[in-house]
A and B are shown apart, each in its own frame.
Chain A
Amino acid sequence: MFDVALADNGILRFIGRLDAAQAAKAQAALDAAADPGVIDFALLEYISSAGLGVLLRTQKRLMASGRKLKLVNVNNHIHDIFRYSGFDQIFEIERAAGAPGP
């Protein structure tokens, strides 16, 4: 299952597994947020290309007004996906604590 939560500090939290069946839900949450800014991946277990697509579209929208997404607490597996896809060059990524450096 996949969920999006909004923390008190205004940070969006992605929770669970963001697969192709859940991409629309993630997209709707990001579209609804005027300025997502930071997304916390601490509880995100899985993301596939469909989720990357959602993030990419959002990034393009924000960049049009000079803003950017920052992804924090990204686990190793998910970081691999960003690396393999070259998306690590598109997003500012902060890896989860305890994860080895790049």
Chain B
Amino acid sequence: MKGERKPKDLTTDELRWILEVTRRLAAPLDLDTMLREVVDVARGVCDADFGMVWLHDAARGELSMQVVPGLEPTRIAADHGIVGECLRLRKAINLPDCHADPRFDREVDLASGYRTRSMLTLPMVGPDDTLVGALQIVNPRDGVFDANDEVVAHLLADQCAVALQRVRMTEQMIRAGKLGQEIAVAREIQLATLPQSAPRVPGYDVAGIFRPADETGGDTYDFVALPGGRYAILMGDATGHGIGPALLATHVRAMLRVALRLEADIDETVRHMNNQLVDDLPDDRFVTAFLGLLDANAHSVRYHAAGQGPLLHFRAATGTCELYPPTSFPLGSLHMPSARAAAVLELAPGDILALASDGIYEYQDVSQREFGADAVAALVSAHHQRPMAELVEVMLRALADFGAGIAQADDLSMVLIRRLPDAALDSAVAASDAGPGMQQRFARSLDSLDAVFDFVGRYFAAEGLDPGLRYAVDLTVEELFANMVRHNAEGKSDIRLALAREGEALLGTIEDFDSPPFDFGAPRATSIGKPLADRRPGGLGLHLIRRMMDSVEYRHADRVTTITFRKGSGRT
């Protein structure tokens, strides 16, 4: 089509404009800027009232209108109106009087109140012959578009088609590759800033997890030991997913660290962090955060919960959880003219403070029901006596069971702080005088037995236990371990064995973290007096260990099987 008509008198100015736009289109522009450029030049060269570009969306069979200031972006079917006809014919359509042509959609004028008289529509076809869209210019000042205008507009449309294809390809590449890399880097930075392990707080059991969703989310948490037995605790969640929230979460943590280094008061810290975020963030971005100061000597937590909640406080005295709402709005949402006083929470012996991110409360199952704070509270109450690291595992497993294969949608973070009950404290002190207990995880296979026995041997040596007890402990551990392997071959987790002293007794715990309930009930001791023909090899193991141990207890909850055994005086 190009060159069907020769330009009669293309002026130097017109040529210069076209060359200029060609040069500019070769530069890396974003789509909007590029389209504006083309339309401006087309309007200028043809001296028209306005112009627009329709982009062809082959996948949806639609055209979308771009670059008309004051008009809402519009989408129409790809075969609609003059522009549809132009694309179908792949030919320019020059209408001196639109309203005389039946293909013209009068609705557009009626809706906008604008009177379209004369209109030039040109197809934009890429070098590989694909339809990219159409360029449309409307109402030239001198009445109608002449042949000269058509030629100039054609040149522009061709340039525009090439540039458009390039921009689209670049954007695709960025989306697929570069952006992916950047998200990976952002996540790496985010994860690297998280504490590698929970802090050791005397008299407390503290555990935290952070499990990012598939794409980087905006959760963060932090523990910082401060002078005087105090600990700062942060758990935050920046809205949204992707690079922005990940960097924002990292930013919040960095602000807190600086404030702590400056020994700023927690109330002032929250105010300044909030006000800084108000200045930094767009209106629709904010950060929910728990910022607390644990005093491990006074057993109190002063805290701000900025849009973060509910907080769970398990009270050992009543065996129930209380839920506390946030103390204020999310950080970054509203200017805070003066500092607010922190809320205070007292931790009695055995109490637990549990902080969970939205990702946990709002974890969804297949019918989009949410896990909910009550379920979290129930789990905390049911397992409050276990080590907090285990409670975290129980929680994650319960979420996975609840979701039943639904992909994790949001970051999951949780911080658990338990004040040890006085008795546990005493036995912890007693145990520490004889060395701490030992625990180890073993792969779910009978081939692990050598390593299991080796573990028992090391514990006996370390504790100077009576070698005469070794046989009974080996046998007990083997029977329980082998049972877990045989009866739960499908289990996904390792099996953990722990040995410790309980006063003068040896206390063993073996745990299967992913198991159905097991019939541990009646031992098959009844077969012992039976004639040989009726006797079966199975079931003997449990009978034997009941004979050899002082006590054996079985528990099962939330897919965790725990078997505890005791043997009196382990001392020589």
Q: Which residues of A contact B (CB under 8 A)?
A: 17, 19-21, 46, 48-50, 52-54, 56-57, 59-60, 63, 77, 80-81, 84-86, 90
Q: Which of B447, B479, B529, B537 has the most CB of A within 10 A?
A: B537
A and B contact pairs by CB, cutoff 8 A, 11 listed: A48-B475, A49-B541, A50-B482, A50-B537, A52-B537, A54-B537, A56-B535, A81-B544, A85-B528, A85-B543, A86-B529
CB distance from A51 to the nearest CB of B (A): 10
Determine if B504 is an interface residue (Cβ-Cβ < 8 Å).
no
Q: Which residues of B contact A (CB under 8 A)?
A: 446-447, 449-450, 453, 471, 474-475, 478-479, 482, 528-529, 532-533, 535, 537-538, 540-541, 543-544, 547-548
Query: Are A53 and B537 closer than 8 Å at their CB atoms?
Result: yes
A46-B475, A85-B544 known, 8 other contacts, Cβ within 8 Å: A19-B449, A20-B446, A50-B541, A59-B532, A63-B532, A77-B471, A84-B548, A90-B535
Query: Are B482 and A20 closer than 8 Å at their CB atoms?
Result: yes
A85 and B450 contact, Cβ closer than 8 Å, known pairs A48-B475, A77-B471: no
CB distance from B528 to the nearest CB of A (A): 4
A48 contacts which chain B residues (CB < 8 A)? 474-475, 478-479, 482, 541, 544
A54 contacts which chain B residues (CB < 8 A)? 537
A49 interface neighbour in B447, B471, B528, B544, Cβ under 8 Å? B544
B453 contacts which chain A residues (CB < 8 A)? 17, 19
CB distance from A60 to the nearest CB of B (A): 7
A86 and B528 contact, Cβ closer than 8 Å, known pairs A48-B478, A53-B540, A81-B544: yes
B478 contacts which chain A residues (CB < 8 A)? 19-20, 48
B533 contacts which chain A residues (CB < 8 A)? 60
Query: Are B450 and A46 closer than 8 Å at their CB atoms?
Result: no
B529 contacts which chain A residues (CB < 8 A)? 86
B541 contacts which chain A residues (CB < 8 A)? 48-50
Query: Are B532 and A90 closer than 8 Å at their CB atoms?
Result: yes
Question: How far, in whole Å, are A94 and B446 apart by their CA atoms in the complex?
Answer: 31
Question: How far, in whole Å, are A46 and B482 apart by their CA atoms in the complex?
Answer: 16
Question: How far, in whole Å, are A81 and B547 apart by their CA atoms in the complex?
Answer: 9
A46 contacts which chain B residues (CB < 8 A)? 471, 474-475
Q: Which of B446, B543, B548 has the most CB of A within 10 A?
A: B446
CB distance from A61 to the nearest CB of B (A): 12
A17 contacts which chain B residues (CB < 8 A)? 453
Question: How far, in whole Å, are A53 and B539 apart by their CA atoms in the complex?
Answer: 10
CB distance from B104 to the nearest CB of A (A): 86
In this complex, what residue of A is CB-closest to B538? A53
A52 contacts which chain B residues (CB < 8 A)? 537, 540
- The 3 closest A-B CB pairs, nearest first, are A53-B537, A86-B528, A49-B541
Query: Are A60 and B532 closer than 8 Å at their CB atoms?
Result: yes
A77 contacts which chain B residues (CB < 8 A)? 471
Question: How far, in whole Å, are A77 and B532 apart by their CA atoms in the complex?
Answer: 23
A86 contacts which chain B residues (CB < 8 A)? 528-529
A49 contacts which chain B residues (CB < 8 A)? 479, 537, 540-541, 544
Question: How far, in whole Å, are A57 and B532 apart by their CA atoms in the complex?
Answer: 10
